Amino acid sequence: MKKQRKIEHYGLKSHEKRFGTEEKCRDYLSQLRWDGQPTCQNPDCGNKYMNYFLSTRNIWKCSKCKKQFSITKGTIFESTNLPLTMWFKAIYFFTIHKRGISSCQLARDLEIEQRTAWFILHRLRETLNNNDSLNLDGEIEVDETYIAPILGRDVRLQRRKRKHDAEMEKIHGLTTAKARRLRGYPLKTNRQKGVTKEVIEQRKREKALLGERKSFEQPVVVFGMLQRDGKIHLEALGKGEDKARSEHIFPIIKRHVSSKSIIVSDQASIYRTIKKFFAGHEKVNHSKGYVIKGIHINGIENVFKHLKKMIAGTFFHIKLHHFQSYLFEHSFRWNVLKIPDREKMDAFLSKLNGQKRLKYGDLISRDFNSLNFAA
């Protein structure tokens, strides 16, 4: 009889065995942060011997300076009112889902309010903002993509678009396409009788004073790098196709890619001079095929495909000042894609030490141009 293959699962039942109680969660954090020896958080003390635990308040007290300190001080759990078991369960859902989990779904799973779940997820994403030490080497695929909002999935965006279109119509009038759809609408053309050259020039001057018609939502430009058989790095450049320029992209590549690497890209003009800074530069002509003589960028395009599916299927619409946080999440999930679920969670938990607390006021007041991500 053929022996049945044993499959290792890490489901919610296994997770509860590890982190089902507050004591188990505190012991894990204590081992992670202090190697099992609670260390005084007073910068002038740092004593790690004979510190004792106050079970009525879930804090430690230093035997030397008599200061009290908590296991959550200096972590993303600092000043939280939620139990650690709920935080660890949120981390479990955050890491095992292939394309992320929405705040609405997490709120149902944890039986909490949606805004609380939204804040939890953003504090978890902030933990992954440590790509400053990420170095890529070897053959590096680079490319950029454009991600526009999906109007059919977000009622709020539909309302905003109708308001935007109404404001543009007051200034610039109806668009040619909309005017053609409206039957019997008299189009103002230069072919009308009695229209002189002076009238035409006057209309041109008036149109120039009004400025150009603004589009509702410009796409967000995302630049990506993939080390073959290695890690990825994604970075949001801003809104508008004009953001995909060499002066925006080259500093990112130089910061994270070794000069001995070979860059693989398409034939976009922004990569024309990149060979000056690296060992080699290979280009693929997409007008002739996706793979030409073994040269391709299918890897980074696959990353973009899953990123767009994550946004379209889970989050629908992301504001620009939060976009980079979601890119941190997708990068982490991609980089741990091939390891078991338990190791994925351990990889995330290993990043908890030394992370600063993200305050709600700082999160909602973010501005994309003022962000200073380490990546």
Give me the residue label for tokens 């394309």: 99
- Specify whether the CB–CB gap between 127 and 76 falls below 8 A: yes
The mean per-residue pLDDT over the stretch 97-116 comes to 94
Do residues 91 and 172 both lie within one domain? no
For tokens 């308040």, the residue is 57
Q: How far apart are the first and last CA of the chain?
A: 54
- Residue 181 sits in the same domain as residue 238: no
Q: Tell me which range, 83-97, 172-186, 275-289, is most confidently predicted by mean pLDDT.
A: 83-97
> 91 near 102, Cβ under 8 Å?
no
Last residue of a domain, one of 110, 127, 144: 127
Specify the pLDDT at position 173. Answer: 75
Question: Does residue 351 lie in a domain region?
Answer: no
One domain for residues 146 and 295: yes
- In sequence order, what DSSP letters do the residues of 275-314 get, joined into one string? GGTSSEEEEE-TTT-S-BTTB--HHHHHHHHHHHHHIIII
Does residue 293 lie in a domain region? yes
344 within domain boundaries: no
Q: Do residues 114 and 122 lie in contact, with contact meaning Cβ atoms separated by under 8 Å?
A: no
Q: How confident is the model at residue 171 (pLDDT cuts 50, 70, 90)?
A: confident
Confidence of residue 111 (pLDDT cuts 50, 70, 90): very high
More confident residue, 300 or 155: 300
What confidence score (pLDDT) does residue 156 get? 80
Looking at the structure of the chain, the number of domains it has is: 3
> Of 127, 144, 162, at which residue does a domain stop?
127
Task: Answer yes or no: do 225 and 262 share one domain.
Answer: yes
372 found inside a domain? no
Domain assignment present for 115: yes
Report the alpha-carbon distance of residue 15 to residue 95 in Å, rounded.
12
Give mean pLDDT, residues 57-65. Answer: 87
Domain that holds residue 56: 12-127
31 and 145 both lie in a single domain: no
Residue 3 located in a structural domain: no
195 & 237 share domain = no
Main-chain phi, psi angles of 287, to 5 degrees = -70, -20
267: which residues sit within 8 A by CB, 6+ positions away?
Answer: 283, 284, 285, 286
Q: Are residues 224 and 105 in the same domain?
A: no
**223 and 199, same structural domain?**
no
Q: How far apart are CA 225 and CA 249, in angstroms?
A: 11
Of 171, 297, 286, 164, the residue nearest 224 (C-alpha): 297
What's the pLDDT at 71? 87
**Does pLDDT of 137 surpass 60?**
yes
**pLDDT at 184 exceeding the cut of 60:** no
Predicted confidence band at 188 (pLDDT cuts at 50, 70, 90)? low
pLDDT digits over 308-346, tens only? 999 988 988 888 899 999 999 999 999 998 899 999 999
When comparing pLDDT for 170 and 96, which is higher?
Answer: 96
Q: State whether 40 and 119 are in the same domain.
A: yes
**Residue 140 DSSP SS3:** strand
Residues 98 and 235 in one domain: no
Predicted local distance difference test score (pLDDT) of residue 185: 53
Residue 280 lies inside a defined structural domain of this protein: yes
* Count of helices and strands (H, E) across the chain: 13, 8
CATH number at residue 252: 3.30.420.10
- The burial class, CB within 10 Å (0-12 / 13-18 / 19+), for 361 is exposed
Q: 144 and 163 in one domain? A: no
Task: Please indicate, yes or no, whether residues 68 and 116 belong to a single structural domain of this protein.
Answer: yes
Please indicate, yes or no, if residue 88 is contained in any of the structural domains.
yes
